[in-house]
Amino acid sequence: MISLSLPYRAPFDWAAMRSYLAARGTPGLEAVTRDGGDRYWRSVQLHGHRGLVGIGTTPGLPADTLHLDVSVSLQPVLEPLLARLRDLLDLDTDPHAVAGHLGRNPGLARLIQRRPGLRVAGAVDRFDLALRAVLGQQVTVRGASTLAGRLVRQFGELLAVTPVFLDGRAVPITHLPVTAERLADASEASIAEIGLPRSRAACVAGLARAVAGGELPELTSDAPTGDPATFIRRLTAVPGIGAWTATYIAMRALHWPDAFPESDLGLRKAMGGLTPAKLRAAAEAWRPWRAYAAQHLWASLAD
């Protein structure tokens, strides 16, 4: 493994980010370990190169820095990989700029004061994130993880790299992310076998075919994305993907800081039961950082 450092702009709530990723981790593809410091692990395939990455804290590390372990096999794609990892953890956002803008709202100011380092998780693999969002429709977070793990076992390739051992135990990463091409060739019936309703299996297949066919290049490219609203319109053209799912995908996969799923029940509850229209109106003053407002409102539900 190659060891590197990932600097970030403080404040950064690593514990909140780690917990967020752990709760949504796909078995066999992602894991959080506590041995040798809190660490988030996942498999990566990028431009034909495959391997493991591990990110987290290490005793004695300088402040404002995370520790990164990368498989030697990923060294040829280290530059684009680092960019994706920084997007995943939202390390390049200026938290003071976000707080200064959103803090004009007294309610958000209190939430930001409570969690000043809260970030919006992005994605290492945009298609994988979009798949997870579709699988998560109308099920619990844990249920979506179970379905994602089954999908990986059925359609993902085995990860053929030297495993990482911590305290004598291997990090439980066994597979690579499922590719759009592999799912596009699968039948809806075989996708449904993981425990999906036929309509949801059709949605997964439709998403895979759209991505494999080049209709959603944002989900496979490292290039900067265009207009997120245009992307959302194209994404909702896939049968079974609604506005909430498309906006959530834009928030995380495209790392759109102004994404705001106004129909979300949690956001409406956190704002005192507002209707979607009233929530949308209230959130206008939060542009261009509405995704961060959403993250703080979601986090407030746990208090």
Domain boundaries 2-300, corresponding CATH code: 3.30.310.20
Neighbours of 44 (CB within 10 A): 24
Write the DSSP assignment of 166-215 as a string of letters. Answer: ETTEE--B-BPPPPHHHHHTS-HHHHHTTT--HHHHHHHHHHHHHHHTTS
- Ramachandran angles phi, psi of 275, nearest 5°: -70, 160
DSSP state of 142: H
**Tokens matching residue 23:** 């709760």
Neighbours of 257 (CB within 10 A): 18
The pLDDT value given to residue 79:
96
DSSP state of 53: E
Q: What is the C-alpha separation between 32 and 3, in angstroms, rounded?
A: 18
- CA contacts within 13 A on the Cβ side of 40: 22
Q: What is the C-alpha separation between 164 and 172, in angstroms, rounded?
A: 9
Q: What is the C-alpha separation between 256 and 251, in angstroms, rounded?
A: 5
| Beta-bridge mates of residue 66 | 6
- Ramachandran angles phi, psi of 32, nearest 5°: -120, 130
The pLDDT value given to residue 168:
67
Are 42 and 52 contacting, i.e. CB atoms less than 8 angstroms apart? yes
The pLDDT value given to residue 169:
79
The residues carrying an active-site annotation are: 264
The pLDDT value given to residue 199:
95
Are 205 and 178 contacting, i.e. CB atoms less than 8 angstroms apart? no
Neighbours of 189 (CB within 10 A): 10
Per-domain residue ranges for the chain? 2-300
- Per-residue exposure over 159-180, b if at least 16 CB sit within 10 Å of its own CB, e if not: bebeebeeeeeebebbbbbbbb
Choose among 302, 303, 284, 298: nearest CA to 101: 284
Q: What is the C-alpha separation between 201 and 178, in angstroms, rounded?
A: 15
C-alpha gyration radius of the chain: 19
Q: What is the C-alpha separation between 3 and 5, in angstroms, rounded?
A: 7
List for the chain the helix, strand, coil content (%; round to 5). 50, 15, 40
pLDDT tens-digit profile, the chain (303 residues): 999 999 999 999 999 999 999 999 999 999 998 876 689 999 999 999 999 999 998 877 788 999 999 999 999 999 999 999 999 999 999 999 999 999 999 999 999 999 999 999 999 999 999 999 999 998 999 999 999 999 999 999 999 877 777 766 788 999 999 999 999 999 999 999 999 999 999 999 999 999 999 999 999 987 667 789 999 999 999 999 999 999 999 999 999 999 999 999 999 999 999 999 999 999 999 999 999 999 999 999 987
